[in-house]
Amino acid sequence: MKVDIEEISSTKRALRIELPPQRLMEKLDTAYLHLAKKVRLPGFRPGKIPRDLLRSRFKDEARQEALRELIPESYSQALKEANLNPVSEPRLEEVVCEVGKPLSYRATFDVKPALQLSGYTGVELYKEKVEATDSEVDRALEHLRERAAEYVPMDGWPALQEDLLVMDYEGFAGGKPLKGVSGRNASILLGAHQFIPEFEAQLHGLKRGEIKEFSLEFPTDYGRRELAGKRVLFRVIVKEVKKKQIPPLDDDFARSVGGCADLLELKEKVKQDLLAHKEREQVGRLKGQLLEKLRAAHPFDPPESLVDAEVKAILDDLRRGVGGQRATPAQNEEEAMQTRARELAEKRVRNSLLLEAVAKQEQLVVSEEELNKEIESTAVALNQKPEAFRKLLQREERIETIRMQLLERKALDLLYERANVVDGVNLVTLA
């Protein structure tokens, strides 16, 4: 086998591969044997069709079968000989497949750029003073009170905004119950827009034990097509009206939610938690600043295939967000998403390749223990059993992806540890 390497760019290679005529003949012979067992022709028993007739009638099928085996075999062997690791599927061109002649083709693919980094330690980063103001502490305490709020049943109390109703309801059309338009012991928080506004409006002022019938017309753009624009009669039975009660901000509250001795200790704990959260956020910003400087110091074109794959992943996420309001984004939204996605994808791919280069130069590795710990913690976060989650990752061939993410994280942590972090504001804006 003859292999010639073409360096098209820093991230693109091509292999010109040529196989001797005998290799093609052997595969064609095997293909005709397979065809002889499968095809049916009038006047011939299975397996007894003359080879000349097979060649005249099924030469294209035999050629395709031979190529399906020869090209992957030879391409894989050529990659090993050339010591190349593609990051994309090959694009085949200039395929020459004729009996008695060498089989030849050209395979084009993307590769990672060969990066040799320098000056990545001691990078100057600028941090600001982190503090938690009294107003921020007060807001955090109010949030804790809201989370600790309870809904208490109230007899004889009319339902108002922000009250919680427990009710049975059923919808009718033409005197018959509508399938899927009913509920038993259903909870609805007035003002939370769980139902259409016209339905919620009918519930205001109702008390425990009251029964109310009312009709309303569903909006023409309602999500369930069988109800869109339809007038429905509802029958509602109120089982409970609950009022929201927020606990007072006192020592008892401090003991119940924070395990603190008194309110003063709870305030200090909340302040320290806010500071820790802000410091983590600042570390994240500083690491982003570090990557920005690393990209500026080492410009290169990322492989198109890696960028395209990242663009697709980002667009899928963005479209899911838009899809929550409208199934298909408008054209201007789509164009804006495409632009944002490509810019972000290029940054992400550059970051990944730069961190991979740092890890290689610093000889960083991810141990099996570290990998297992990451898989287990991710499984717990996703509320899955670690073993089942590992099997899922293995089926989807994502174990190495987790390993690479860990390796990149290690490289970024190392860069941050070796950075020169100083107080102040960076007045130089990087392009």
Q: Would you say residue 120 lies in a domain?
A: no
Same domain, 187 and 95: no
Q: Residue 237 in contact with residue 267, Cβ under 8 Å? A: no
119 to 23, 63, 210: CA distances (angstroms): 51, 55, 75
Which of 229, 204, 208, 234 is closest to 219 using CA atoms? 229
| Residue 423 is assigned to a structural domain of this protein | no
Say if residue 9 is in the same domain as residue 95. Answer: yes
Q: Closest by alpha carbon to 181, among 236, 143, 141?
A: 236
| Domain boundary residue, one of 344, 373, 395 | 344
- The 3-state secondary structure of the chain reads CEEEEEEEECCEEEEEEEECHHHHHHHHHHHHHHHHHHCCCCCCCCCCCCHHHHHHHHHHHHHHHHHHHHHHHHHHHHHHHHCCCECCCCEEEEEECCCCCCEEEEEEEEECCCCCCCCCCCCEEEECCCCCCHHHHHHHHHHHHHHCCEEEECCCCCCCCCCEEEEEEEEEECCEEEEEEEEEEEEEECCCCCCCHHHHHCCCCCCCCCEEEEEEECCCCCCCCCCCCCEEEEEEEEEEEEEEECCCCCHHHHHHHHCCCCHHHHHHHHHHHHHHHHHHHHHHHHHHHHHHHHHHHCCCCCCHHHHHHHHHHHHHHHHHHHHCCCCCCCHHHHHHHHHHHHHHHHHHHHHHHHHHHHHHHCCCCCCHHHHHHHHHHHHHHCCCCHHHHHHHHHHCCCHHHHHHHHHHHHHHHHHHHCCEEEECCCCCCCC
Strand partners, 241: 165
Domain contains 366: no
The residues, ordered by sequence, that sit 6+ positions from 206 with a Cβ below 8 Å of its Cβ are: 158, 159, 165, 212, 236, 238, 241
Structure tokens at 257: 């939610």
Same domain, 159 and 93: no
> Is residue 268 in some structural domain?
no
Q: 91 and 26 in one domain?
A: yes
**Are residues 3 and 17 in contact, defined by beta-carbon separation less than 8 angstroms?**
yes
Q: What is the pLDDT of residue 45?
A: 57
Instruction: Give this prediction's pTM.
Output: 0.74
Based on the fold, state whether residues 239 and 314 are members of the same structural domain. no
Amino acid identity for residue 60 in this structure: D
Residue 279 included in any domain: no
Write down which residue in 204, 227, 245 finishes a domain.
245
Residue 280 lies in a domain: no
194 located within any domain: yes
pLDDT tens, per residue, the chain with 431 residues: 899 999 999 999 999 999 898 888 888 777 767 666 666 565 565 655 666 666 656 677 778 888 888 889 999 999 999 999 999 999 999 988 888 888 899 999 999 999 999 999 999 999 899 999 999 999 999 999 999 999 999 988 899 999 999 999 999 998 899 988 999 999 999 998 888 889 999 999 999 999 999 999 999 888 888 888 899 999 999 999 999 999 999 999 999 988 899 999 999 999 999 999 999 999 999 999 999 999 999 999 999 999 999 999 888 887 775 544 444 556 667 788 788 899 999 999 999 999 999 999 999 999 999 999 999 999 999 998 989 999 999 998 899 999 999 999 999 999 999 999 998 765 444 43
305 and 234 in one domain?
A: no
Q: What separation in angstroms does the CA of 67 have from each of 33, 88, 95, 363?
A: 15, 20, 10, 41
CATH of the domain at 174: 3.10.50.40
Neighbours of 344 (CB within 10 A): 14
Domain count, the chain: 3
CATH number at residue 19: 3.30.70.1050
Give dist(CA 194, CA 201) in Å, integer. Answer: 12
What number of other Cβ atoms are within 10 A of residue 316's Cβ? 10
Based on the domain organization, do 9 and 94 belong to the same domain?
yes
Domain boundary among 245, 267, 287: 245
Amino acid identity of 268? E
Domain assignment of residue 329, given as a range: 301-344
Q: Does 106 share its domain with 159?
A: no
CA atoms within 13 A on the CB side of 236: 25
Q: Other CB atoms closer than 10 Å to residue 331's CB: what's the count?
A: 8
In a domain, 52, yes or no: yes
